[in-house]
Amino acid sequence: MRKGLVQAVVVMGLLTSCKDGKMQNVFASEDEAEEDSVELFVGDTLHLFDEVEKPPVAVDELFVDFFYNFAGDARFQNQRIVFPLLCKEGEGETKLTKHEWNEWNQFGEQEFYAVIYEREQDLELQNDTTIQSVDVEWIHLKEEKQEKYGFDRVNGKWMLTEMQTEKSSETPNGDFLQFYSQFVADSVFQREALAVPVRLILTSADEEEDVQEETLSADDWFNLRADLPFLNGALVNLDYGQTCISQNRKTLMMQGLSNGLQMKFRFNKEGDDWKLIEIEY
């Protein structure tokens, strides 16, 4: 397999813009935002914030559209958190003020998120406008812990209402996450975790029926791996309520927040060992 072809496909994916209501920025242009920021110094601050936040109703239909704006716009983000924010860890509870949140916030530089699922039909949950709650799991792989952010619809608007810190190994995806942590950190382990040959499926963004299939050797995979934005420090998983029953198969879908890049990595557990069996993008 030619590495140049892979690089071209990845670049094409990165340049693809989001369409059909997926991750659309509903806010004003940079020039308009600057004008707004000047106006904030005049008059009643609370009144001005009420006037500023008038996004289309669509921002609260699909959670992923809301999340795109929540992660990328600090002003909007502060308007969509129930302060003081309830934080749970073990038996303890604390509350985070707006100032403490802004000092600690880690959403601003997020470029990719993931969805871990078992059944393809569970992906339809991200297009369900009737869902009332979604958990965003910020998984710190090395520390083997995760922060779970609970978002709920409050009066029709998505709001962050709660945060909970827990051990990732004790969550329903715990076994897979322990494997994934070692998979992305250890190249020797990674090579052994490939179900060679690994199936590669390339789909066209414009023509759904235009599908190319190839197989990858271990060396092909590492050539491809060098060109991919792979989640290795922290894994941000969106939990829409997808099924988590089987401990023998997982698909990790990576989605770009500001572009149309989407990749799926399918893993099966063979005996006691997880294996990467297929890549699709």
Q: Taking the mean position of all CA atoms in its chain, how far away is CA 234?
A: 10
Tens digit of each residue's pLDDT (9 = 90 or more) over 156-215? 999 999 999 999 999 999 999 999 999 998 999 999 999 999 999 998 766 556 789 999
- Three-class DSSP labels, the chain: CCHHHHHHHHHHHHHCCCCCCCCCCCCCCHHHHHHHHHHCCCCCHHHHHHHHCCCCHHHHCCHHHHHHHHHHCHHHHHHCEEEEEEEEECCEEEEECHHHHHHHCCCCCCCEEEEEECCHHHHHHHHCCCCCEEEEEEEECCCCEEEEEEEEEECCEEEEEEEEEEEHHHCCCHHHHHHHHHHHHCHHHHHHCEEEEEEEEEECCCCCCCEEEEEECHHHHHHHHCCCCCCCCEEEEEECCCCCCCCCEEEEEEEECCCCCEEEEEEEEECCEEEEEEEEC
Looking at residue 278, its pLDDT comes to 97
pLDDT for 261 = 84
In this predicted structure, what is the pLDDT of residue 17? 38
Q: What is the pLDDT of residue 279?
A: 95
**pLDDT recorded at residue 193:** 97
What percent of the chain has pLDDT above 90?
58
- Rounded to two decimals, the pTM is 0.78
Averaged in consecutive runs of 10 residues, what is the pLDDT profile of the chain (281 residues)? 45 40 42 40 40 63 93 92 96 94 84 91 93 96 94 97 95 93 93 96 72 94 82 86 86 86 93 95 83
Predicted pLDDT of residue 205: 63
